[in-house]
């Protein structure tokens, strides 16, 4: 096979992988004309022919990239990138939209990310617990979280590898720099345990409720931040204020938000050592304590180093 034939083959394959048939004869003639007759360098000739075909077929450059770079979940930081990843399907959610074929979470050893397979993509269904190569998927950002979208130019292939998910438990040291709304003495719906907002459950409306104590906050170590949820036990361990004490504070002050003010005064701005289970957004804390640091020793290490 001559050089021109090879190049022709390359162009045809490129478009075929993206689902487009091009006229081999036409490609050959164009390349031959540019390279042999006009002495255009090979790569310029290739580019010219590809551009011509893209315009003819109305295909964007991104759609033509044969295989997007293989990345890890943790590398996905910006929307609008074409990437490929090997990942395990962690969980499938019920899709409420007819435009969505499947939605859920996939993960590798570096993290977990939401994925969406559009109905239009026309792909076979994936199964929970199985591992796949998700080739040529597009990164996107929704509600502040990254996700990947599977479109009709993507490819999903089951692979014979067992991909590990990230360690679910991690230990961090950092400062509590924010306590978010819906913290303190809260009310939960008796039917679904969701937190009521202004006495109303997002699912069941006005329902019977019960009291609970928790803190939703942000731990920041200067390099990363973690959104954490402290349950009643965690809060009691740290402050001595459990659900009963919290109710008393609320009664004494005739104000439930007095509990939150008290917790803010005692907890914000301090350093902690904590362990917890990582979810998609929140770290569910299992153990937490105020940091006890040996300042003298650490200080001397800094001066000695």
Partner 1 sequence: MDGRSFKREIARRVFAFELNKATHKIESGDRAVQVLLPTGVSCNRVFIVGVLLDREETRPDSDFWKVRISDPTGVFRGFVGRFQPDALESLLKIEPPEIVAVVAKIRLFEGDTTTVVTIRPEVIIPVEREVRDYWVIETAKHTLERINRMRKGGNELVELAWQVYEPDLDYYEEKVKEAVRTLLDQHAMVESETEARESEEPEEVSEEEEKAKAEESEVESWEGEEELEGVEDIESVEREEDWELEDIDEFEFEEEEWDLRDILGE
Interface residue list for partner 1 (CB under 8 A): 79, 90-91, 105, 141-146, 168, 175, 177-178, 180-182, 194, 202, 216, 218, 220, 222-225, 264-265, 268-271, 277-282, 284, 291, 293, 295-296, 298-300, 302-303, 305
In whole angstroms, the minimum distance from the beta carbon of 102 to partner 1 comes to 16
Angle at 113 between CA 141 and CA 167, to 5 degrees: 145
Encoding tokens for residue 240? 């001595």
Residue reference for tokens 């990230």? 166
For partner 1, give the closer residue by CB, 7 or 148. 148
In whole angstroms, the minimum distance from the beta carbon of 282 to partner 1 comes to 7
In whole angstroms, the minimum distance from the beta carbon of 279 to partner 1 comes to 4
In whole angstroms, the minimum distance from the beta carbon of 294 to partner 1 comes to 10
Contact 95, 101 (CB under 8 A): yes
For partner 1, give the closer residue by CB, 27 or 263. 263
For partner 1, give the closer residue by CB, 156 or 201. 201
107-to-85, 130, 140, 163, 283 alpha-carbon distances in Å: 9, 11, 16, 8, 17
In whole angstroms, the minimum distance from the beta carbon of 154 to partner 1 comes to 21
Encoding tokens for residue 159? 């692979």
For partner 1, give the closer residue by CB, 52 or 210. 210
Rounded distance, CA 5 to CA 11, Å?
A: 10
Contact 128, 105 (CB under 8 A): no
For partner 1, give the closer residue by CB, 30 or 216. 216
For partner 1, give the closer residue by CB, 136 or 139. 139
For partner 1, give the closer residue by CB, 1 or 303. 303
In whole angstroms, the minimum distance from the beta carbon of 183 to partner 1 comes to 11
Residue reference for tokens 């001397």? 300
- Strand extents, DSSP E, the chain: 82-93, 100-108, 111-118, 131-142, 145-150, 155-158, 169-179, 184-189, 209-220, 225-230, 271-278, 282-290
Encoding tokens for residue 142? 């929704």
In whole angstroms, the minimum distance from the beta carbon of 285 to partner 1 comes to 12
Q: Which parts of the chain fold into alpha helices (H)?
A: 3-17, 24-32, 42-57, 61-64, 232-239, 243-253, 257-267, 295-304
Encoding tokens for residue 100? 């969505």
């Amino acid at each position: 096979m001559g050089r021109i034939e090879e190049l022709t083959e390359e162009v045809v394959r490129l478009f075929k992988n993206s689902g487009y048939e091009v006229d081999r004869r036409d490609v050959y003639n164009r390349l031959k004309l540019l390279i042999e007759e006009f002495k255009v360098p090979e790569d310029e000739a290739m580019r010219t022919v590809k551009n011509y075909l893209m315009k003819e077929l109305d295909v964007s450059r991104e759609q033509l990239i044969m295989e997007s770079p293989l990345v890890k979940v943790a590398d996905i930081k910006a929307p609008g990138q074409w990437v490929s990843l090997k990942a395990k399907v962690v969980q499938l959610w019920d899709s409420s939209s007819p435009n969505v074929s499947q939605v859920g979470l996939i993960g590798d050893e570096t993290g977990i990310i939401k994925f969406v397979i559009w109905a239009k993509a026309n792909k076979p269904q994936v199964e929970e617990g199985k591992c796949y190569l998700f080739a040529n998927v597009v990164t996107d950002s929704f509600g502040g979280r990254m996700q990947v979208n599977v479109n009709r130019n993507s490819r999903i292939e089951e692979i014979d590898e067992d991909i590990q998910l990230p360690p679910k438990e991690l230990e961090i040291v950092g400062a509590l720099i924010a306590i978010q709304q819906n913290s303190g003495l809260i009310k939960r719906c008796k039917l679904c345990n969701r937190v009521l907002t202004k006495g109303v459950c997002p699912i069941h409306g006005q329902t019977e409720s019960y009291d609970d104590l928790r803190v939703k906050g942000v731990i920041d170590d200067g390099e990363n931040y973690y959104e954490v949820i402290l349950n009643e036990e965690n809060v009691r361990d740290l402050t001595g204020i459990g659900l009963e004490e919290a109710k008393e504070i609320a009664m004494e002050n005739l104000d439930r938000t007095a509990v939150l003010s008290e917790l803010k005064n005692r907890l914000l701005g301090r350093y902690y050592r904590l362990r917890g289970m990582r979810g998609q957004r929140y770290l569910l804390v299992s153990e937490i304590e105020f940091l006890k640091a040996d300042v003298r020793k650490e200080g001397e290490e800094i001066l000695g180093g």
